[in-house]
């Protein structure tokens, strides 16, 4: 993965990870987060629920 951006549900970017293969969400509160994952020439968006 080239880059991962973590957003709140309201669209606020809260973290950017470069050249990372994993994401540690332990520092975030419980809730729903959106991940924008940049791989090669593609952008994937995933919803993550932290309980």
Cβ atoms of residues 49 and 34 within 8 Å: no
Cβ atoms of residues 48 and 36 within 8 Å: no
pLDDT at residue number 27: 93
pLDDT single digits (tens) 9-49: 999 999 999 998 888 899 999 999 999 999 999 999 999 99
Spatial separation of the C-alpha atoms in residues 27 and 42, rounded to whole Å: 27
CA dihedral 39, 42, 43, 45 (to 10 degrees): -90
Give me the number of domains the chain comprises. Answer: 1
**Domain around 25:** 3-50
Q: What tokens does 7 get?
A: 């957003």
Q: How many CB atoms lie within 10 A of CB 33?
A: 19
């Amino acid at each position: 993965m080239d880059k991962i951006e973590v957003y709140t549900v309201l669209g606020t970017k809260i973290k950017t990870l470069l050249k990372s293969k994993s994401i540690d969400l332990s520092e975030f509160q419980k809730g729903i987060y959106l991940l924008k994952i940049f791989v090669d020439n593609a952008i994937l968006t995933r919803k993550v629920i932290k309980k």
